[in-house]
Amino acid sequence: MAREVAYLDYFPEILKEIKEIQKCAQVEKPILDALWLKIENIMKDRFILTATEDGLSRREKALKINVPGTDSIETRRFRLLTRYQEQAPYTNKVLKQLLDSLLGEGKYTYERNVADKWIKVRLELSVKGQFEAVELMLERITPQTMILEVTLRYNQHSTLVRYTHAQLAAFTHKQLREDVMT
In a domain, 127, yes or no: yes
- Cβ proximity of 140 and 88 under 8 Å: yes
CA–CA dist 148, 144 (Å, integer) = 9
In a domain, 54, yes or no: no
pLDDT number for residue 19: 92
How many domains is the chain built from? 2
Reported confidence tier of residue 156, pLDDT bands at 50, 70, 90 = low
Looking at the fold, whether 31 and 109 belong to one and the same domain comes out as: no
More confident residue, 90 or 62: 62
pLDDT number for residue 89: 63
CA–CA dist 126, 106 (Å, integer) = 11
Looking at the fold, whether 99 and 167 belong to one and the same domain comes out as: yes
Which residues are bridge partners to 151 per DSSP? 122
Please determine, for residue 173, whether its predicted confidence score (pLDDT) is greater than 90. no
Please choose, from the candidates 80, 81, 152, 92, the residue with its C-alpha nearest in 3D space to the C-alpha of residue 119. 92
Looking at the fold, whether 31 and 92 belong to one and the same domain comes out as: no
pLDDT number for residue 59: 94
45: left (phi over 0), alpha (psi -120 to 50) or beta: alpha
pLDDT number for residue 177: 67
**Residues with Cβ < 8 Å from 100, sequence gap 6 or more?**
none
Domain range for 36? 7-44
Please choose, from the candidates 93, 111, 150, the residue with its C-alpha nearest in 3D space to the C-alpha of residue 127. 150
More confident residue, 24 or 89: 24
In a domain, 69, yes or no: no
More confident residue, 10 or 154: 10
Please determine, for residue 179, whether its predicted confidence score (pLDDT) is greater than 80. no
CA–CA dist 3, 33 (Å, integer) = 7
